[in-house]
A and B are shown apart, each in its own frame.
Chain A
Amino acid sequence: MIEKKSRAVEIKDLKFKYKDQEKESALNNINLNIDRGQFVVIMGPSGAGKSTLANCLNGLIPHFKRGEFSGKVIVNEKDTSDNKVSIMAKEIGLVFQDFEAQLFSTNLELEIAFGPENFKFPREKIKERIKKVLKTVKLEGLENRQPSTLSGGQKQRLAIGSVLSFEPDIICMDEPTTDLDPLGKLGIFNIAEELHEQSDLTLIIIEHETEEALNGDRLLIMDEGEILRDGKPEDVLKEVDFIDEIGIMSLQIPKYFSRISNLSQDELPLRPEEGLQTFNELNLEINEEKYNQILEKEKQRSDSYGEKLIEVKNLHHTYSDGTEALKGIDLDIRDGEFLAVLGHNGSGKTTLVKHFNALLEPTEGSVKISGKETVDSSIFEIGKKIAYAFQNPDHQIFADTVYEEVAFSPKIRGVSEEEIDLRVKEALESVDMLGYEEEDPFSLTKGERQRIAVASILSARPKVIILDEPTTGLDYSEQKQMMDLIKKLNEQGHTIVMITHTMWVVSEYAHRVAVINEGKLSMYGGIRDVFKREEELMKSYLKTPHIVSMSNKMGKTFLSVEEMISCTEGGR
C-alpha cells in the first residue's frame, strides 16, 4: 500500500461566488488544512458558507454548481479543479441533510452497493462491505427492507452507510441531524464517535447543536464566508460573547458563569457536572424567595387559562393498514395555553395533533373543539378556529407575492377586500415582515419563508395555532426570532400547540408539556414539573438543556440562564 500523506484536506485562498449571487461571495479567502484522522466540527449561522465549503471538498463546486471559483482545494493530493466529482467522491464521501432525497434503491443492500458498484469493486468485495457497513450503521437484519419504510434516523444512518461502503478516507456530513428526532440524532452522534475511534477516518461534520460540538477534536466557526475561529471546541466555546454575537447558541453553563462571576475565560466550566462543582467552589447560592416568586407567577399563569378549547377523551387512532398510532389519550387544552408536544418520530404526536383540526378523525374516543365533536364538523369550519402550520413552509407556499400568499386563507373564506387588506397587514406585522408584500416568497430565506407560512395562517384569525416543528432547519438566531414571535402571539391571546424536538425551545417558551411515547401520554404537566424528572425524560431520549440539568442537581429547576441568574446570590 502506498503511504499516504498526513494531510487530508488542503485549501488555499478559496473564493467562490454563486452564479446568481449579486454582491458578496459565498466563500472569502478560505485557508484550511485538515490532518488525517481529525474530527472537525463546523458551525455557523445560516448563509455562513458551511454547505458551500462542503460542496467544494468533493468538487460539486465548481463542477456541478457554477460560479466564480478561485483558489485551490486539494483532497488526498487530488485537486478538485482537475478531477470530476465522481473521481473526488472516492476520496471524500459527502452525506447530505435531506436523507429522503439521497436514498433511491429498492432495499438497503442495493442502496449500500450503489457506490461500490460505480467504483467497480468486485462483487465478492461488495458483499463483504454490505455486511460490514450494516453493522457499523446498526442496521443489521434489515438488508431487504425498503428504505422508505425506515425511520428518519435509520434513513440518515443508511445514507452514511451508502457512503462508507466505498471506503473513502474522509467523510463530510452536512447537517446530518437537523431533520432528526433526539433518538435519531443520538444514533448519528454515536456512529460518528465510533468511526472516529475505530479508524484513521477523517470526519468533517457541519452541526447546529453546540452541545454536540464538544465531541470533536477541532471546531471551526464560520460566518459570511470566512473562518473566524479555529481551535479546540473547549476553548472556542468558552468565548461566550463572540458565539452569542455571531448567532450560534452558546453553551449555557459557561454563559451562566461568565455573567455571574469574574472567572477568566479559561476557568469557565463547560458541562453541568463541572458547573455544579464551580457553583459550590464559588459559594454561590440560590435565593429561595426569588425562586418561590417564579413558581408563584407560574401558578398564577396556569390559573388564568380560560375555557377548554380542545378536549381529547380516550383517543385511539388506527390507520387503515392496521398500525395503532394512538392508544388512549386524554388531554385538555385551555384558552391561552402554550403546549409543547414531545416524543420521537413514530410516537404518534403528529397523529395526535392532526386530530385537533380534523385532518384525522378518531377511530375510538372523541375530540371536541369548543364542545363540538370534530366528527360533526368539517376541516373548513374548524379551520376558522384552529390553524395548522406544517413543518416545511415549502409545502404550502405557492403564490407570486407575499401579499397573495397571506391573503389566500381569508380570500377563500369570502372576506371582503378591505378586511383582507387589514388582515394581511396585521398578520405581516405580527411576523415582522411588513414591507415584504410585493416580494416573491420563493426568493426569501428559509426563516423568512417559515414566517410567511405562519402569517398565512394568522390571517384566518384562529384561536388556536398548531405548529409542527417551527424551528427545524433554522439557525439559532432565526429560531429565537421565530420563538419570540410565537410567544408574542400567545401573549396576544392565541393558544399555541407546538410539536418540537428542540429542548431549549421547550424549556424557555412552553408552559405545559405532553410527552407521547408509543401512542400513549407518558408525561403531561407543567414545564417545570416535567423537566424536573430528567431520568424519566431520558427514557424517551429527551435530554434537558444543560442549565436545567445543572439546576436539577441542586434541587431546583431553572428553565433558562436568565432565570437562574436572576436568582443567584453570593460569590461575585
Chain B
Amino acid sequence: MDMFLYMDKDTFVHNLDPRTKIFVMFGTFTIALLFNSLPVLLALAALVLFYGYSGKVLANLKRIRVILFMIALMSILIWSIVGGGETKLLGPITLEGFIYGLTVAVKFNVMIIAGMIFLSSTTIEGISLGLVKLKIPYRGAFAFSTAIRLVPMIVGTSYTITQAQRSRGLDLDSGSIFEKIKKYVPLIIPTFVSVIRGTNVFSMALESKGFGYDSERTNYLQLSYDKRDYIFMIITFILVAVSIYVKLTFDF
C-alpha cells in the first residue's frame, strides 16, 4: 500500500518552485483567517480546489475525507446550538448559528485542503530545500521534512499491527467509548515501540551517510523561479493585499 502523500504527477503545480507553493499556501491561510464571511470563504475554497484540480492531486482528499467531514459536522453542530441569533429553526438551533458553523467549517477545511495540496504536489526534498532557500537552517528543514516522512511509516506499521491484534481476537467494533479507548492500547504500544526502533536505525543510517559532515552541502535538486512562479506569486500577493485592504477599510 502506498502511504506517501506525495503524488508523482507531471503538472504545472508540481513544477512550481516549492517556495512559490509555500507562499500560495500561507496566502490561503491569511485570507481564510482574515474573513468570517461565507461567500468570501466559498470563493476562496473554489479557487483552492481549482488549484488542486489542475495539479491532479484532489484524489488525495479522499484519504482525509473523514477528518474533513468530522470538522464540518462538529463545527456546524456546535455553532448551530451555541451560536445564538434571532431566527430560531428547531429548539436552540438558529439560522445565524448554523451559517456561522458552516463558515468556520469552510474556513478550517480550506486551510487543511491547501496544506494537503502542497504536500501532495511537493516532494519532501523539495520542501526541505525550499525551506533552506528561505533561510531556514538545513537541520531544521530536514527535521521538519522527516516529521512528514514519519507519518506514512506510522500508518503502515499500525496497519500491520491492527491485523496482528485482530488475529488474536481484538474486536475494535463493539463496546462503549471507554471500552473502545482501552482496546486501542494493544495497537498504540507496539506502534510506538516499532516507530522508536525504526527512527533509531534511521538516525544511525543518516549519520553513516555523512549527515552533518559540514554546514554546507551540495543540492542535487535545483530550484529556480520561472515565469509561472512569478505569475503565481503576484496573483497571491495581490489577493492577499486586496483582502487586507478590504478587511481594514470595510471591516467585513
A-to-B contact residues, CB < 8 Å: 55, 58, 60, 64, 84-87, 89-90, 93-94, 96, 98, 100-102, 104-107, 109-110, 113-123, 126-127, 144, 146, 148-149, 159, 162-163, 166, 321, 354, 357, 359, 379-380, 383, 387-388, 390, 392, 394-399, 408-409, 412-413, 442, 456-457, 460
Interface locus among B25-33, B61-69, B201-209: B201-209
Assess the B190–A396 pair: CB atoms within 8 A: yes
Residue in A93, A395, A412, A456 whose beta carbon sits within 8 Å of that of B160 in the complex: A395
CB contacts (< 8 Å) of A121 on chain B: these are 218
CA gap between A101 and B196 in the complex, in Å: 11
Q: A148-B3, A398-B185, A442-B193 are in contact. Are A106 and B123 (CB under 8 A)?
A: yes
Judge whether B232 is part of the interface by a CB distance below 8 angstroms: no
Judge whether B4 is part of the interface by a CB distance below 8 angstroms: yes
Q: List 11 A-B contacts (CB under 8 A).
A: A85-B207, A89-B209, A106-B8, A118-B210, A120-B218, A148-B152, A166-B209, A357-B167, A359-B163, A380-B169, A383-B168
Assess the A149–B157 pair: CB atoms within 8 A: no
Q: A390-B163, A412-B171 are in contact. Are A85 and B197 (CB under 8 A)?
A: no
Assess the B169–A398 pair: CB atoms within 8 A: no
CB contacts (< 8 Å) of B193 on chain A: these are 394, 397, 442
Judge whether B87 is part of the interface by a CB distance below 8 angstroms: no
Assess the A96–B210 pair: CB atoms within 8 A: no
Q: A96-B204, A105-B124 are in contact. Are A90 and B167 (CB under 8 A)?
A: no
Judge whether B78 is part of the interface by a CB distance below 8 angstroms: no
Main secondary structure of the interface of B (DSSP, over half): helix
Interface string of B126-164 (1 = CB under 8 A from A): 000000000000000000001001001100010011011
Q: A87-B213, A117-B217, A398-B186 are in contact. Are A96 and B201 (CB under 8 A)?
A: yes
Residue in B8, B161, B171, B197 whose beta carbon sits within 8 Å of that of A396 in the complex: B161
CA gap between A100 and B199 in the complex, in Å: 10
CB contacts (< 8 Å) of A119 on chain B: these are 210, 213
- Give B120 Cβ to nearest chain A Cβ, in Å: 12
Assess the B168–A100 pair: CB atoms within 8 A: no
Assess the B207–A146 pair: CB atoms within 8 A: no
CB contacts (< 8 Å) of B218 on chain A: these are 116-117, 120-123, 126
CA gap between A159 and B205 in the complex, in Å: 9
Q: A163-B208, A359-B167 are in contact. Are A395 and B216 (CB under 8 A)?
A: no
Residue in A84, A321, A387 whose beta carbon sits within 8 Å of that of B167 in the complex: A387
Interface string of B219-233 (1 = CB under 8 A from A): 111100000000000
> Interface centre among A84, A149, A321, A396, by most B CB within 10 Å?
A396
CB contacts (< 8 Å) of B166 on chain A: these are 359, 379-380, 383
CA gap between A335 and B220 in the complex, in Å: 59
Residue in B163, B168, B210 whose beta carbon sits within 8 Å of that of A90 in the complex: B210
CA gap between A96 and B201 in the complex, in Å: 8
CA gap between A383 and B166 in the complex, in Å: 9
Q: A86-B212, A96-B201, A116-B218 are in contact. Are A395 and B125 (CB under 8 A)?
A: no
Judge whether B51 is part of the interface by a CB distance below 8 angstroms: no
* CB nearest neighbor in A for B124: A106
* CB nearest neighbor in B for A65: B204
CA gap between A380 and B175 in the complex, in Å: 15
CA gap between A101 and B157 in the complex, in Å: 12
Residue in A117, A120, A387, A394 whose beta carbon sits within 8 Å of that of B190 in the complex: A394
Judge whether B85 is part of the interface by a CB distance below 8 angstroms: no
CB contacts (< 8 Å) of A94 on chain B: these are 204-205, 208
Residue in A86, A113, A395 whose beta carbon sits within 8 Å of that of B194 in the complex: A395
Judge whether B11 is part of the interface by a CB distance below 8 angstroms: no
* CB nearest neighbor in B for A112: B220
Q: A58-B208, A85-B208, A126-B220 are in contact. Are A101 and B201 (CB under 8 A)?
A: yes
CB contacts (< 8 Å) of B153 on chain A: these are 100
- Give B104 Cβ to nearest chain A Cβ, in Å: 34
Judge whether B165 is part of the interface by a CB distance below 8 angstroms: yes
* CB nearest neighbor in B for A359: B163
Judge whether B242 is part of the interface by a CB distance below 8 angstroms: no
Assess the B208–A93 pair: CB atoms within 8 A: yes
5 A-B pairs closest in CB distance: A102-B205, A118-B210, A398-B189, A101-B201, A113-B220
In residues 164-189 of chain B, which contact A (Cβ within 8 Å)? 164-171, 185-189
Assess the B170–A89 pair: CB atoms within 8 A: no
CA gap between A463 and B212 in the complex, in Å: 54
CB contacts (< 8 Å) of B207 on chain A: these are 60, 64, 85-86, 89
- Give B170 Cβ to nearest chain A Cβ, in Å: 6
Assess the A106–B167 pair: CB atoms within 8 A: no
Assess the A390–B160 pair: CB atoms within 8 A: yes
- Give A459 Cβ to nearest chain B Cβ, in Å: 9
Assess the B157–A456 pair: CB atoms within 8 A: no
Q: A383-B169, A396-B165 are in contact. Are A162 and B220 (CB under 8 A)?
A: no
CA gap between A456 and B4 in the complex, in Å: 33
- Give B79 Cβ to nearest chain A Cβ, in Å: 37
CB contacts (< 8 Å) of A399 on chain B: these are 186
CA gap between A64 and B8 in the complex, in Å: 36
Q: A398-B186, A409-B168 are in contact. Are A106 and B208 (CB under 8 A)?
A: no
Judge whether B92 is part of the interface by a CB distance below 8 angstroms: no
CA gap between A46 and B203 in the complex, in Å: 23
In the complex, given contacts A392-B160, A457-B168, what are 13 additional A-B residue pairs having Cβ atoms less than 8 angstroms apart?
A: A64-B204, A89-B207, A106-B125, A113-B220, A117-B219, A119-B210, A120-B214, A126-B218, A148-B3, A357-B167, A380-B171, A390-B167, A398-B187
CA gap between A117 and B219 in the complex, in Å: 6
